[in-house]
């Protein structure tokens, strides 16, 4: 059964492409969009999580979801999967460039060039490739919405010691989103970037902490209740609410914006 919004399904007849769709924010957004009528192309590395997401969504509305095995840092695999998704669903209208990793966390002098490149390749190159290969299909439909998941880290705050590669990639996403918003405005393609704070996801599974991390960490007394709007980290579904708003016609005059969703976390430190 579809969830109806303001008298109808907001995304009926539309297709959303979501990277990092196997868990966390990507999964929550895919489920919500499917409930509101969208077909969803689920991009992630093939594993049990992405297949389970596909099953859950197709149980909501049969045939509305398809999982694609994609490494978003690989241009060949991204382009191939985009073309397959377009052929299957008939076009693209919404792009949620959400996939990302924390990567290796540690002192700059201990990071190898491979560590650095892996984080930037996944987070920044992956965003570029996702947008690059989907733009032609948005243009064919006369416009669309692109949403990019960045972070408060690298934009609003810089207290995550050892995350130089991650923070650099997240700041880069902001610059890319703003340039893309200007470039694509005349094609009626909107581009916005979101800054989540601490959200309950499994991104920490990809994090590798260096032994030298203790040497560069400056002791910080974090305030009690560092999520003023909640009792703990935000939930993926709360971010999904923001993404679906930015994907919908209700935000049709919003582009080039960066929107913080962190329960006031970044205002404290």
Over residues 102-118, mean pLDDT: 95
Residue 180 has pLDDT above 60, yes or no: yes
Half-sphere exposure of 243 (CA within 13 A, CB side): 31
Residue 44 has pLDDT above 90, yes or no: yes
Q: Are 247 and 15 spatial neighbours (Cβ–Cβ below 8 Å)?
A: no
Q: Are 248 and 94 spatial neighbours (Cβ–Cβ below 8 Å)?
A: no
Confidence of residue 170 (pLDDT cuts 50, 70, 90): very high
166 annotated active-site? yes
> For the segment 49-67, what is each residue's pLDDT rounded down to a tens digit?
999 999 999 999 999 999 9
Count of beta carbons in the 10 Å neighbourhood of residue 186: 7
Residue 191 has pLDDT above 60, yes or no: yes
132 φ/ψ angles, rounded to the nearest 5 degrees: -55, -50
Question: Residue 238: what pLDDT?
Answer: 94
Give the percent of the chain with pLDDT over 70.
91
> For the segment 116-164, what is each residue's pLDDT rounded down to a tens digit?
999 999 999 999 999 999 999 999 999 999 999 999 999 998 988 899 9
Close Cβ partners of 5 (under 8 Å, ≥ 6 residues apart): 36, 248
> For the segment 237-248, what is each residue's pLDDT rounded down to a tens digit?
999 999 999 999
Give the percent of the chain with pLDDT over 90.
77
Q: Which is the catalytic residue, given 3, 5, 166, 195?
A: 166
Count of beta carbons in the 10 Å neighbourhood of residue 116: 17
Question: Residue 116: what pLDDT?
Answer: 97
- Specify the 3-state DSSP secondary structure of 35: helix
Higher pLDDT among residues 144 and 233, named by residue = 144
Question: Residue 230: what pLDDT?
Answer: 81
Question: Residue 208: what pLDDT?
Answer: 64
Question: Residue 3: what pLDDT?
Answer: 38
Question: Is the pTM value of this prediction over 0.85?
Answer: yes
Count of beta carbons in the 10 Å neighbourhood of residue 33: 30
240, containing H or E segment? helix 236-247
Distance of alpha carbon 164 from alpha carbon 154, whole angstroms: 8
Q: CA-CA-CA-CA torsion for 158, 163, 165, 167, nearest 10 degrees? A: -30
> For the segment 1-22, what is each residue's pLDDT rounded down to a tens digit?
333 444 358 999 999 999 999 9
Question: Residue 204: what pLDDT?
Answer: 58
26 φ/ψ angles, rounded to the nearest 5 degrees: -60, -45
């Amino acid at each position: 059964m579809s969830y109806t919004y303001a008298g109808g399904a907001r995304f009926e007849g539309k297709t959303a492409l979501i990277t990092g769709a196997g868990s966390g924010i990507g999964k929550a957004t895919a489920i919500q969009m499917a409930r509101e009528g969208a077909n969803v192309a689920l991009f992630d590395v093939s594993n049990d999580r992405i297949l389970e997401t596909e099953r859950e969504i197709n149980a909501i509305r049969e045939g509305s979801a398809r999982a694609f095995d994609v490494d978003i840092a690989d241009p060949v695999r991204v382009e191939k999967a985009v073309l397959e998704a377009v052929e299957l669903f008939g076009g693209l209208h919404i792009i949620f460039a959400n996939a990302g990793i924390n990567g290796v966390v540690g002192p700059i002098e201990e990071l190898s060039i491979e560590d650095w490149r892996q984080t930037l390749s996944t987070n920044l190159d992956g965003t570029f490739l996702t947008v690059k290969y989907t733009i032609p299909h948005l243009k064919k439909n006369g416009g669309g919405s692109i949403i990019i998941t960045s972070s408060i880290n690298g934009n609003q705050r810089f207290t995550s010691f050892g995350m130089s590669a991650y923070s650099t990639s997240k700041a880069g996403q902001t610059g890319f989103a703003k340039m893309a918003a200007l470039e694509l405005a005349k094609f009626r393609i909107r581009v916005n970037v979101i800054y989540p704070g601490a959200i309950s996801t499994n991104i920490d599974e990809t994090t590798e902490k260096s032994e030298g991390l203790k040497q560069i960490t400056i002791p910080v007394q974090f305030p009690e209740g560092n999520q003023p709007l909640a009792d703990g980290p935000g939930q993926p579904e709360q971010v999904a609410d923001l993404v679906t708003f930015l994907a919908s016609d209700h935000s049709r005059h919003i582009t080039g914006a960066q929107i913080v969703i962190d329960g006031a976390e970044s205002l404290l430190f």
